[in-house]
Chain A
């Protein structure tokens, strides 16, 4: 089977690059790295990734949750959030986006790998 593809949305470019290396080490393909919600929407339309890994605070007019909402409404693609903010707060705000998960920085890769693997390798990322 082909490697699942992931779009990384993160405005610290070094952190984004490290994420890409780590995700590729886990067996995923990173199809793009962008730093704003607007670019994320364009990239999902173009690349059709299996899922989006999105920082909540990003560049541009919309935050990560709004961007994820647009992406899910237009393309049905689901998002896993990474954030420096308290998870409890985000869970409430992001509930309607049905995120794959919310991962707090600094990231635990093991946790991320298990969550992404469960969703992507079982092929139900598109299920709404």
Chain B
């Protein structure tokens, strides 16, 4: 091998390496231009084109944007050339997948930069046309060596350009799949919200029907029973309302729910009780609706029980509602009061009755430990792990 041939092949290797480096490190928007710069330098040419064939079969030439567009005065200057617009030497090169060299001025459209000399080489990978590489307007004529050089660069570029195009298509598909998924999620959220709203409205209708029905009832005991049922439904409706307002339709803010339920119960009993204060010690806990509803129903019974029985004859006192997330991860709900406890007539109701039966059942449903004491007023505690549900 002669020394000039050796330096020639070293030069080629350096060019390939530079191009490969650009392919690996430069983002799409600059890559075509940077590769073309290297090719122009290697072939000592002023103008050139490096483009790819897109999915629709059009030739796209991102590399033309800088050098040629600055001088090009064509009114419809574009970087996308649909297959049916291919013409002239470059069109022939693309359709025949052959390199074409010309050292005579070709005919160009009005406003297009003049082409004195040029070499067009199609970029082909596995028989498939995937791009175009061209140089033009060198000071001296192009020769077979130049064409061979450009062809060899195009052969090197073929597989890596193809890999890049395939990757871009996959990326596009991934992005559009992601957008579709986002849309579907948004629709699901809207539907869920609508559903919770519907449940809440249905419960409001149920409450109205019970209320209307109780208008016709003369027995006070029956009226009271219906009121109790309404209280329980209301406690459930509040939970759905809480869910409907929450950002995450799977979690209920148990603290907020507890506060609202306690306030509401005090409101309901306000004309029957004397000076009873409500104390709350509530920490932030979020739970699923499966946990929230039993908790709400338990609170409803316990607070209602205290309001109804702990402070007879307008006695003063306090009911404390506490919700605590303990260090062991368990939740403790507690309702305590400083009322009469199990003394007097309250005792009969507090020992038995549907209310406390419900509390026991719901505590079981929660997998909770239930502690009830009435030594000095009431002290009822429910402890459970929210994960058991």
Contacts and interface: CB of A to CB of B under 8 A. Distances in A.
A108 B212 contact: no
Give the contact-size bracket for chain B: 20 to 34
Contacts of A12: 201, 204-205, 208
Interface string A1-44: 00000000000101101110110000000000000000000000
Contacts of A17: 208, 212
A84 B242 CA distance: 10
A89 to B, nearest CB: 9
Interface string B202-221: 01110111011001000000
B212 A18 contact: yes
Interface in A81-128: 84, 86, 104-106, 108, 110-111
A108 B267 CA distance: 7
Contacts, number: 49
B112 interface: no
Contact of A14 (B197, B209, B270, B271): B209
B149 to A, nearest CB: 70
* Interface residue SS majority, chain A: helix
Interface in B220-255: 234, 237-238, 241, 244-245
B268 interface: yes
A14 B201 contact: no
Interface string B255-297: 0000000001001101100000000000000000000000000
A86 B245 CA distance: 7
Interface of A: 12, 14-15, 17-19, 21-22, 84, 86, 104-106, 108, 110-111
7 contacts: A14-B205, A18-B208, A18-B211, A21-B212, A106-B207, A110-B267, A110-B270
